[in-house]
Amino acid sequence: MPLVKLRGVHKTFGSNHVLKGIDLDVEAGDVVALIGRSGSGKSTLLRTINGLESIDRGELVVDGVALDDGFGDLRTLRQKVGMVFQQFNLFPHLTVGENVMLALKVVKKTAHAEAGDIAKEMLLKVGLAEKFSAYPDQLSGGQQQRVAIARALAMRPRVLLCDEITSALDPELVNEVLAVVRQLAEEGMTLIMVTHEMRFAREVGNKLIFMHHGLIHESGVPRQLFAEPGTPELANFIGAVS
Amino acid sequence: MAYQFDFLAVFDYGDMLLKGAAFTLAMTAVGAVVGTAIGIAGGMCRAWKLHPLDWLFGAYVELIRNTPFLVQLLFIFFGLPSLGVQISEWQASFLAVVVNLGAYTTEIIRAGIQATPRGQIEAAQSLAMGRLQIFFHVVLRPALQKVWPALSSQIVIVMLGSAVCSQIAAEDLTFAANFIQSRNFRAFETYLVVTAMYFAMAWMVRYALNVFGRRVIVARKPQTRGA
């Protein structure tokens, strides 16, 4: 059984039909790259997977938890799905360590000392152990994004969603974030990422999904699709971004 | 003949002045604490549109900010007893200050809450945090940081405005002034001293709120290591 399963998922914003029936299976350990033009629905699709966007129709199951079961299950679902955002979204009034520890303490009721140990372990993983007591505004964008990854990982999610996590970074800071993601992929973390880093999608991803007009227009193995796109839309898109 | 100033005629009533000042400060302190608590609750309900509480707080805010404080006070002191609620001068004064300040802080704190970047709330939701957890751990502190100067000003405004509580014979600083000048017939000296006392108190309250804001609301933990 797939870790993430979507069947016939529809989403509209007002008169704008953003998702027009998405079927998607993500297996544990998959690294999925979601690509497509702006407005194709790729970010919306990602955000439905942890319930940040409700779905109008269809079915969503993550690790046995179905989304349509109400508010209580929404929080159960979110404990299984971590998310990292384009704008980092660290909590500015908390230190780096407190950012990572907060949900452990208030959601999982982890004791302070244990939460601190987990936070240190996660910060070590992203190479920022020495920033434990710094505040977000004292860090570079790349460092903030690595803290955001550590914060998501601390909850031990089954799958990590990445929403254009390098798009707000200065070019020289992109690689330090991608290196962390690459390491997670190698460790077997299930990743679903909306990305414009085509080279990264090709090298690290094992599934490529091309969204077009609210549908999965084409999907497959990244290397093959990049070499031989099956549709003119994907060929155009690859031509436009590379 | 030139007017002979006699400040001793005022200082003879020093005890009364100090008691009055203490009453005014106590009213302000209670108003600040309870009023801010109301403002936090009201600000959350209004900013997050929690029906029907936001409508109730909305009506409360409109009622208070569109009517004079003196009328609110008179309503509480003379109006409530008609409904069978007996209330003393000092109770009516404290209640009026709390009710008045609570309405203004609701609006001020609501603005701070609404200034929370959407992404921070989404990040907290993604971490499986619940609504109230998000409010108290993620939203509240930065919101108070943003509006602290406005909140401090409003508290001082209400302290100065509380002078009208003397109208129902609550024994605040203005009540003391009225009483003293009716005894010593030294209106100029009495009101000059009381003016100076209000000035000093307002300045002190503002300073105290400033320090509290820096040390508690905006406070940062010391770095254990260079960043």
Please tell me the predicted confidence (pLDDT) of residue B227: 40
Please tell me the predicted confidence (pLDDT) of residue B226: 44
CA distance B126 to A85: 10
How far apart are the two ends of chain A, measured CA to CA in Å? Answer: 35
Closest Cα in chain B, distance from residue A139 (Å): 8
Residue B223 has pLDDT above 70, yes or no: no
Please tell me the predicted confidence (pLDDT) of residue B218: 87
CB A123 within 8 A of CB A129: yes
Domain membership of residue B10 (yes or no) is: no
CB within 8 Å: B225 and A81: no
Average pLDDT of chain B is 95
Tokens 């805010």, residue located: B61
Domain membership of residue B198 (yes or no) is: no
CB B110 within 8 A of CB B54: no
Model confidence at B219, in pLDDT bands (50, 70, 90)? confident
CB within 8 Å: B227 and A50: no
Closest Cα in chain B, distance from residue A75 (Å): 5
Q: Which of B120, B126, B145 shows the shortest C-beta gap to A83?
A: B126
Domain membership of residue B6 (yes or no) is: no
Domain membership of residue B60 (yes or no) is: yes
Instruction: Please list every residue in chain B whose beta carbon sits closer than 8 Å to the beta carbon of residue A81.
Output: 126
CB within 8 Å: A78 and B123: no
List the single best residue of B122, B125, B126 to mutate versus A (max A Cβ within 10 A).
B126
SS3 of A104, please? helix
Instruction: Please list every residue in chain B whose beta carbon sits closer than 8 Å to the beta carbon of residue A132.
Output: 224-225
B157-177 tens-digit pLDDT: 999 999 999 999 999 999 999
Residue of A nearest to B136 (CA): A106
Over residues B4-32, mean pLDDT: 95
Please tell me the predicted confidence (pLDDT) of residue A241: 81
Instruction: Please list every residue in chain B whose beta carbon sits closer than 8 Å to the beta carbon of residue A95.
Output: 221
Instruction: Please list every residue in chain A whose beta carbon sits closer than 8 Å to the beta carbon of residue B224.
Output: 132-133
Domain membership of residue B13 (yes or no) is: no
Instruction: Please list every residue in chain B whose beta carbon sits closer than 8 Å to the beta carbon of residue A155.
Output: 127-128
CA distance B139 to A102: 13
Residue B43's alpha-carbon distances to A176, B58, B108, B123, B136, in angstroms, are 41, 10, 8, 21, 13
Please tell me the predicted confidence (pLDDT) of residue B1: 66
Buried-state track A84-116, b at ≥16 Cβ within 10 A, e below 16: bbbbbbbbebbbbbbbbbbbbbbbbebeeeebb
Residue B14 has pLDDT above 90, yes or no: yes
Model confidence at B154, in pLDDT bands (50, 70, 90)? very high
Within 8 A by CB and 6+ apart from A207, the residues are A26, A30, A31, A32, A33, A219, A220, A221, A222
Instruction: Please list every residue in chain B whose beta carbon sits closer than 8 Å to the beta carbon of residue A87.
Output: 117, 119
Supply the CATH number for residue B142's domain: 1.10.3720.10
Domain membership of residue B54 (yes or no) is: yes
- With an 8 Å Cβ cutoff, is B120 touching chain A? yes
Q: Which of A107, A133, A138 shows the shortest C-beta gap to B129?
A: A107
Count: domains in chain B: 1
Digit-by-digit pLDDT tens for chain A (242 residues) are 899 999 999 999 999 999 999 999 999 999 999 999 999 999 999 999 999 998 998 999 999 888 765 555 888 999 999 999 999 999 999 999 999 999 999 999 999 999 999 999 999 999 999 999 999 999 999 999 999 999 999 999 999 999 999 999 999 999 999 999 999 999 999 999 999 999 999 999 999 999 999 999 999 999 999 999 999 999 999 988 87
CB within 8 Å: B126 and A81: yes
Domain membership of residue B112 (yes or no) is: yes
CB within 8 Å: A89 and B122: yes
B35-74 tens-digit pLDDT: 999 999 999 999 999 999 999 999 999 999 999 999 999 9
B102-149 tens-digit pLDDT: 999 999 999 999 999 999 999 999 999 999 999 999 999 999 999 999
Sheet containing A65-66, strands listed edge to edge, beginning at the edge strand earlier in sequence: A16-26, A4-13, A57-62, A65-66
- With an 8 Å Cβ cutoff, is B117 touching chain A? yes
Domain membership of residue B39 (yes or no) is: yes
Amino acid letter at B164? Answer: V
Please tell me the predicted confidence (pLDDT) of residue A67: 77
CA distance B196 to B153: 19
Buried-state track B51-81, b at ≥16 Cβ within 10 A, e below 16: eeebeebbebbeebeeeebeebbbebbeeee
Closest Cα in chain B, distance from residue A123 (Å): 14
Instruction: Please list every residue in chain B whose beta carbon sits closer than 8 Å to the beta carbon of residue A91.
Output: 120, 123-124, 137-138, 142
- With an 8 Å Cβ cutoff, is B82 touching chain A? no
Residue of B nearest to A100 (CA): B127
- With an 8 Å Cβ cutoff, is B86 touching chain A? no
CA distance B90 to A83: 54
CB within 8 Å: B142 and A93: yes
Amino acid letter at A137? Answer: D
Q: Could you tell me the residue range of the domain that residue B70 belongs to?
A: 23-170
Please tell me the predicted confidence (pLDDT) of residue A198: 92
Please tell me the predicted confidence (pLDDT) of residue A71: 54
